[in-house]
Amino acid sequence: EVHLVESGGGLIQPGGSLRLSCAASGFTVSSNYMSWVRQAPGKGLEWVSVIYSGGSTDYGDSVKGRFTISRDTSKNTVYLQMNSLRAEDTAVYYCVKTGGGYWGQGTLVTVSS
Amino acid sequence: DIVMTQTPLSSPVTLGQPASISCRSSQSLVHSDGNTYLSWLKQRPGQPPRLLIHKISNRFSGVPDRFSGSGAGTDFTLKISRVEAEDVGVYYCMQTTQFPYSFGQGTKLEIK
């Protein structure tokens, strides 16, 4: 059975950094494309980043140059390193497998002073 | 970037009656591999989204057959044949044909 468990969210000051983790089970992350999608409070969904099975990555314009997606195949885990955080990055961050078939429960990131 | 536009944004429906949501993309969602990566998701408050339909019309595992998807190119529709109380929530269309992947604004389905 597929499970995705996010962790690493919390309250952080503007300009700070956080690393989110997504521990996967029931499948191999390196054989799928894995994504991070976020949802600001009361708002819609925004695709943040994706890492493809071959290892290449893509980023939304709002996070390009600040966020980095990566994976550790030995831990079957995907990461999102978030630097230079802004108030507008406040959101629940979801880890998503492939084309949206499986989502984690999400982890809340709050950027505020 | 591909912009996804849903209509209506709110849909009050009567239990047992059909419901329909439209989604239009700003450009064709036909991928170079011939597939059209248009999906529909449903989200309830406090919950992550759940995939209902992928590649226009394919129901995901466990999705009731009262949900159906149709369309082609840039125009797509999600239909619920007979709305049940558990169908309330926000419905999103999503394209994963071209990055940045994108979502519609969401349609809130509520019971009259």
pLDDT in tens, A26-45: 999 999 999 999 999 999 99
pLDDT in tens, B19-38: 999 999 999 999 999 999 99
Q: Are strands A10-12 and A3-7 parallel, antiparallel or unpaired?
A: unpaired
pLDDT reading at A100 higher than 90: no
pLDDT in tens, A48-62: 999 999 999 999 999
pLDDT reading at B111 higher than 90: yes
Q: What percent of chain B has pLDDT over 70?
A: 100
Out of A58, A60, A104, name the one closest to residue B48 (CB).
A104
How far, in Å, are A21, A76, A108, B5 from residue A89 at the CA level?
17, 26, 10, 23
Give the pLDDT of residue A108: 98
Which residues from chain B sit within 8 angstroms of residue A103, using beta carbons? 48-50
Query: How many Å lie between the alpha carbon of A92 and the closest alpha carbon of chain B?
Result: 10
Using alpha carbons, select from A25, A16, A24 the residue that is nearest to residue A79.
A24
Indicate the average pLDDT of chain A: 96
Give the pLDDT of residue A59: 96
Give the pLDDT of residue A99: 80
Give the pLDDT of residue B82: 97
For residue B87, give both structure tokens: 């169908």
Task: Tell me, yes or no, if B54 comes closer than 8 A to chain A by beta carbon.
Answer: yes
pLDDT in tens, B51-61: 999 999 999 99
pLDDT reading at A98 higher than 90: no
Query: CA angle, B36 as apex, A1 and A98 as ends, to 5°?
Result: 25
Task: Tell me, yes or no, if B50 comes closer than 8 A to chain A by beta carbon.
Answer: yes
Q: What percent of chain A has pLDDT over 70?
A: 100
From CA B5, how far away is CA B80, in angstroms rounded?
19
Task: Tell me, yes or no, if B35 comes closer than 8 A to chain A by beta carbon.
Answer: no
Helix (H, G, I), strand (E, B) or coil at B101: coil
pLDDT in tens, B58-96: 999 999 999 999 999 999 999 999 999 999 999 999 999
